Structure 1
Amino acid sequence: MVNTQVFTIPLRIAQSIFAIIELGLTAYVVNRWAHGWWSPSQANFLLFCSIWTLLVLIYLILAPLKFPRFAHKSAILGIEAVTMIFWFAGFIAFAVLLSDIGCGSGWWGCRVNQAAAVFGAFEWLLFMFSTVLSMLYYFSARGKHTTTHDPNMEVHPHQTV
């Protein structure tokens, strides 16, 4: 059995922090673009990815702790993989949009838009790592017909001695 418990808490904390940063950046970007009565779908999708990630993290943290019946290894792997694909598609599409527009010296949000793309890439990397951990767990537990969850996939509070 692969022990992924060591990485779970720091990984979820990092994913949460980056999702909140990305939410702030993309909300600002969408708001600034919306002053022209529209915002690009790429920015809107990154905003969706941030909100989706926060909802997913609630499930990934709470389900193994409070609702173990719903913390099935296939569901966790599927949600991790879908979220990873969302982040990949989102940051690539937004980066392409920014490269098409270019950053002029007079453009209001060049650096903010670039930061949103970079933090999206970091979030993708974090979810790629957690998806790999989920895959390792999934395939190491394959063939075991059980409806219970593995404590290795739980987020445990740190206990002091």
Structure 2
Amino acid sequence: MKVGLDFDRVLFRTDEFKEEVLFAEIENFQETYSKIDGVYSPEKHAEKLGISIEKIMECLDRASEYLYEDIELLRDSNHEFIIVSRGDPVFQEEKVQRSGALDFVEDHIILQDRTKDVEGIEFLVDDLKKEIQNANIEGFHFKRPENSLKDVLNRLEEKEK
């Protein structure tokens, strides 16, 4: 089965990354952090902070420290996993790449303004119920720490019976 996995808060410890890296390493990051049209814009944020975008992008060097450990479970599954993530194309791509998550999935897609029913995925795992509803495909509303990727694999196994 082809399964779409959201990146932030499903595979990646986003809130900890923000807190421990972005907020800690860039002065006033938290106070000025906002989303433009629902998507974070590092260019606009850097401009607002009066710093270079490179300063924000350098923080992504630590992204590999923030993958959830249970991502290893994807390796032994017979499902095809694709990261389907929403975000600024450059920032999100860099975050996904530098995290090392691509070692565990078949592919990835970064979206900004369309639904997550892409690449023929049959099942979507997302921390936002709205994303699953908008994609209009079967899904798993995923909430850490209540859920782990083991729960996803169990759900997929039940679905195949």
Q: TM-score, normalised by structure 1?
A: 0.30
Q: Which has the higher contact order (CA 8 A, sep 6+)?
A: 1
The structure with the greater share of residues assigned to helix is 1
Q: TM-score, normalised by structure 2?
A: 0.30
The structure with the greater share of residues assigned to strand is 2
